[in-house]
C-alpha cells in the first residue's frame, strides 16, 4: 500500500503535469522506494551501519571478492534491520547485512553469463556478528576506492521508467514522453533534497531501456539472435516475458562527486537487480548488474 501523504502529493503532480486522465493507473503503478540521502558523518539522523563507499565493515569470515584478474570495488553496505519500517521493505529480509561490489575499472553488465565474477552481493544473515573495517586488498587501485558517504534513509515514491516493461501496463504516452521525463525528474526531488538518486527498491532511473527484460531473458540463456532486435520478437517471448515483471531493484547507485571524482561511465548509474523468488530465498548470488549512462 502506498503511503497516503506521498500518494496525494504524487496525484497532485500527475494532475499538474496533465496526466490526470490516467492518474489512477499511474498511481497503481507507482512503487515506494527507500532513498539513500547523502549526509555528513555528524548528522544525527544518519543510518548507523548502512552507507555508500568507504571500506566495508565485515565479519572476519567474509573475504573481499575479486574477479578473475583483480579485486572488486566496494560500493556500499546495508543493514536490513534499518529498513524494516519503510513501505518498500516487505520483500527484503528482516535482518542481515548486504555488501555490494563491482568492477569499477571496466564495466560489465547483465549481458554476460550468470556466474560472472564482475560483481558480487554478499549477504550475512547474522547482524549481530562482530565486524571490523577491512583494509583494501593488494591490487585494488586507489582511484577505484570510493569515498565514504553516510546516508539518511528517506521514504519516496517512484514511477516506472520510460521504455521499461512496467510501461506496458500503462496508457500509451504518445507525444507526452518529455513531460513524463520531467515528472520523473521532479519526483526525485519532491521528497528528498539530494540530486544524486541512490535508492533501495522502487522503480529505477533507467536511461537506456528495460533492464528487467534483459535480466529475465539472459538469466534463462535466451539471447537475441543476430537478426532479432527485440525480446518481444524472441521465440521464447510468450514463455519468458511475463516473468520480467518479477525482477526487483535491490540497489541503485548514482554518479556522485561525493563518492568519486570521476563518474560511472558517462555520468552513469549502477543497478543491482534480483528476481523476486531469489530475493525470498536469499539467493543473492543470483543478482544481476547493469550500468547505464546518458
pLDDT tens digits, one per residue of 136-174: 999 999 999 999 999 999 999 999 998 899 999 888 887
Q: Please give the average per-residue pLDDT across 111-123, as a whole number.
A: 74
Direct distance between the N- and C-terminal alpha carbons of the chain, in angstroms, rounded to an integer: 33
Contacts of 249 (CB under 8 A, 6+ apart): 33, 199, 200, 201, 202, 203, 204, 271, 272, 273
* Higher-pLDDT residue of 263, 83: 83
Name the nearest CA neighbour of 200 among 5, 30, 32, 29. Answer: 32
Q: Is it the case that residue 270 has pLDDT exceeding 70? A: yes
pLDDT tens digits, one per residue of 195-219: 899 999 999 998 888 999 999 999 9
pLDDT at 1: 52
Q: Is it the case that residue 94 has pLDDT exceeding 70? A: yes
pLDDT at 34: 96
**CATH number for the domain harbouring residue 102:** 2.30.320.10
Q: Could you give the CA distance from residue 52 to residue 62 in angstroms, rounded to a whole number? A: 18
pLDDT tens digits, one per residue of 271-280: 999 999 999 9
| Owning domain of residue 132 | 4-292
pLDDT tens digits, one per residue of 6-27: 888 888 888 888 888 888 999 9
pLDDT tens digits, one per residue of 226-235: 888 899 999 9
Percentage of the chain beyond pLDDT 70 is 96
Based on the structure, what is the number of domains in the chain? 1
Q: Is it the case that residue 112 has pLDDT exceeding 60? A: no
Percentage of the chain beyond pLDDT 90 is 66
DSSP element (H, E) containing 178: helix 177-190
CB-CB neighbours of 231 under 10 Å: 21
Global pTM reads 0.94
pLDDT at 294: 73
Cell of 196: 544524486
For residue 2, name the pLDDT band (cuts at 50, 70, 90).
low
Q: Is 158 exposed, middle or buried (0-12, 13-18, 19+ CB in 10 A)?
A: buried
Q: Please give the average per-residue pLDDT across 258-262, as a whole number.
A: 88
* Higher-pLDDT residue of 53, 114: 53
pLDDT at 197: 93
For residue 3, name the pLDDT band (cuts at 50, 70, 90).
low
Amino acid at each position: 500500500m502506498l503511503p497516503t501523504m506521498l500518494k496525494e502529493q504524487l496525484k497532485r503532480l500527475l494532475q499538474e503535469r496533465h496526466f490526470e486522465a490516467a492518474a489512477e493507473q499511474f498511481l497503481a503503478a507507482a512503487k515506494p522506494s527507500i532513498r539513500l540521502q547523502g549526509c555528513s558523518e555528524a548528522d544525527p539522523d544518519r543510518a548507523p551501519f548502512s552507507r555508500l563507499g568507504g571500506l566495508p565493515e565485515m565479519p572476519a569470515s567474509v573475504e573481499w571478492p575479486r574477479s578473475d584478474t583483480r579485486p572488486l570495488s566496494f560500493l556500499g553496505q546495508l543493514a536490513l534491520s534499518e529498513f524494516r519500517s519503510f513501505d518498500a521493505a516487505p520483500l527484503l529480509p528482516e535482518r542481515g547485512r548486504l555488501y555490494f561490489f563491482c568492477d569499477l575499472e571496466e564495466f560489465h553488465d547483465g549481458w554476460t553469463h550468470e556466474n560472472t565474477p564482475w560483481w558480487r552481493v554478499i549477504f550475512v544473515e547474522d547482524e549481530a556478528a562482530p565486524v571490523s573495517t577491512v583494509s583494501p586488498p593488494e591490487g585494488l587501485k586507489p582511484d577505484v576506492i570510493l569515498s565514504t558517504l553516510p546516508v539518511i534513509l528517506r521514504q519516496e515514491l517512484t514511477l516506472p521508467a520510460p521504455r521499461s516493461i512496467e510501461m506496458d501496463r500503462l496508457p500509451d504516452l504518445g507525444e507526452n514522453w518529455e513531460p513524463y521525463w520531467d515528472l520523473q525528474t521532479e519526483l526525485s526531488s519532491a521528497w528528498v533534497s539530494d540530486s544524486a538518486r541512490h535508492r533501495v527498491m522502487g522503480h529505477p532511473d533507467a536511461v537506456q531501456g528495460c533492464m528487467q527484460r534483459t535480466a529475465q531473458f539472459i538469466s534463462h540463456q535466451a539471447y537475441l539472435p543476430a537478426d532479432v532486435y527485440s525480446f518481444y520478437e524472441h521465440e521464447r517471448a510468450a514463455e519468458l516475458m511475463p516473468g520480467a515483471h518479477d525482477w526487483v531493484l535491490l540497489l541503485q547507485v548514482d554518479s556522485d562527486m561525493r563518492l568519486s571524482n570521476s563518474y560511472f561511465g558517462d555520468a552513469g548509474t549502477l543497478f543491482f537487480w534480483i528476481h523476486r523468488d531469489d530475493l525470498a530465498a536469499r539467493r543473492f548470488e543470483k543478482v544481476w548488474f547493469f550500468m547505464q549512462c546518458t
